[in-house]
């Protein structure tokens, strides 16, 4: 399960998507998330699916590698589906005890699960094709206008980059601790929920200790190098837009316009 977590990891490949400016990928991810929660109807759903499939194909990242990240949110998807299935009002199809399954509930449950899957995969495309350093530089550059209202843009970007970089490190550390505890006779599989929760204590305590120790070492290293924030700092590789980046922006805007148009067309069609 731990090896299935792909968030925050970088997959090296020679693709057009890897070479794009990180600001384009951040903007594209934001547009795709907006489109997922605004589309209605089968045509818009097909367009979102085709767009995501095309992006995955261009990225040259194996689809099986991206799908691995979904295993870690199966519980979240099940809970989301159940809540939408039983708590949505509408035309009752099946009823037992206090629970009702409606046509609208089935539709909302399927739609929310699909949106969640597409959201995870779409976000994974960005992190898998962008190094943490590029992501930090792109986020800082994109939020640069907010410095006029005294927002610490560099510090925010740095914290997000460190958080993403710590994810694979902590996953690896958790795997090592779990194997060490299992070698000492710990059982993380059998028993009910209460026993499994108690079995996690020998895992969580050393994990938190290790995380705080790593955070302290990082703070000490930054302090030793006289790190004082982003003021006055320069970039070894400043970000500049190329021809491919401008074409990508055009494609993203066209995609968003089509999604919004399909939404209004579908509303009129249903009405």
Q: What percent of the chain shows pLDDT beyond 90?
A: 5
Name the residue with higher pLDDT: 91 or 11.
11
Would you say 104 and 91 are in contact if contact means Cβ atoms under 8 Å apart? yes
Report if residue 54 sits inside a domain.
Answer: yes
State pLDDT tens for residues 127-137. 888 887 788 88
What CA–CA distances, in Å, run from 252 to 29, 249, 260?
Answer: 10, 5, 12
Report if residue 154 sits inside a domain.
Answer: no
CA distance 196 to 53: 38
Mean pLDDT of 18-27: 89
Q: For residue 144, what pLDDT is reported?
A: 80
Q: What percent of the chain shows pLDDT beyond 70?
A: 90
Please say if the pLDDT value at position 242 is more than 50: yes
Mean pLDDT of 12-33: 89
Mean pLDDT of 63-72: 75
Q: For residue 268, what pLDDT is reported?
A: 53
Q: For residue 76, what pLDDT is reported?
A: 78
Please say if the pLDDT value at position 250 is more than 90: yes
Please say if the pLDDT value at position 14 is more than 70: yes
3-class DSSP string for 235-262: CCCCCCCCHHHHHHHHHHHHHHHHHHHH
Report if residue 10 sits inside a domain.
Answer: yes
On average, the pLDDT of the chain sits at 80
Q: Cβ-count burial of 128 within 10 angstroms (0-12 exposed, 13-18 middle, 19+ buried)?
A: buried
Would you say 73 and 116 are in contact if contact means Cβ atoms under 8 Å apart? yes
Report if residue 141 sits inside a domain.
Answer: no
Its domain, for residue 30, covers: 1-130+240-271
State pLDDT tens for residues 158-172. 787 787 777 778 878
Whole-prediction pTM value?
A: 0.74
Query: What number of residues does the chain have?
Result: 271
Please say if the pLDDT value at position 271 is more than 50: no
Report if residue 204 sits inside a domain.
Answer: no
Report if residue 191 sits inside a domain.
Answer: no
3-state secondary structure of 101: strand
Structure confidence at residue 270 as a pLDDT band (50, 70, 90): very low
The total number of structural domains in the chain stands at: 1
Report if residue 225 sits inside a domain.
Answer: no
Report if residue 178 sits inside a domain.
Answer: no
Mean pLDDT of 220-225: 86
The DSSP output letter for 96 is: E
State pLDDT tens for residues 85-124. 777 777 777 777 777 777 777 888 888 888 888 888 888 8
Would you say 70 and 120 are in contact if contact means Cβ atoms under 8 Å apart? yes
């Amino acid at each position: 399960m731990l090896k299935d977590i792909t968030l925050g990891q970088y997959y090296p490949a020679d693709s057009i998507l890897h070479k794009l400016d990180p600001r384009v990928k951040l903007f594209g991810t934001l547009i795709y998330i907006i489109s997922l929660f605004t589309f209605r109807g089968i045509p818009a759903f097909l367009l979102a699916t085709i767009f995501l499939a095309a992006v995955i194909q261009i990225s040259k990242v194996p689809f099986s590698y991206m799908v691995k990240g979904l295993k870690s949110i199966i519980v979240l998807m099940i809970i989301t589906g159940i809540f939408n299935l039983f708590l949505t009002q509408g035309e009752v199809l099946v009823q037992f005890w206090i629970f009702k399954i409606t046509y609208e509930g089935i539709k909302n449950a399927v739609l929310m699960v699909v949106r969640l899957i597409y959201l995870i995969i779409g976000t994974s495309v960005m992190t898998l094709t962008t190094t943490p350093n590029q992501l930090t530089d792109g986020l800082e550059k994109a939020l640069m206008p907010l410095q006029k209202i005294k927002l610490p843009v560099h510090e925010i970007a740095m914290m997000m980059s460190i958080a993403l970089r710590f994810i694979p490190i902590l996953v690896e550390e958790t795997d090592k601790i779990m194997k060490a505890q299992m070698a000492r006779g710990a059982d993380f599989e059998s028993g009910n929920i209460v026993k499994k929760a108690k079995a996690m204590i020998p895992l969580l305590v050393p994990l938190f200790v290790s995380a705080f120790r790593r955070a302290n070492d990082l703070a000490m290293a930054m302090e030793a190098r006289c790190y004082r924030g982003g003021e006055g700092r320069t970039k070894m590789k400043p970000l500049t837009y190329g021809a491919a980046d401008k074409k990508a922006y055009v494609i993203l805007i066209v995609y968003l316009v089509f999604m919004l148009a399909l939404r209004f067309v579908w509303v009129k069609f249903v009405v």
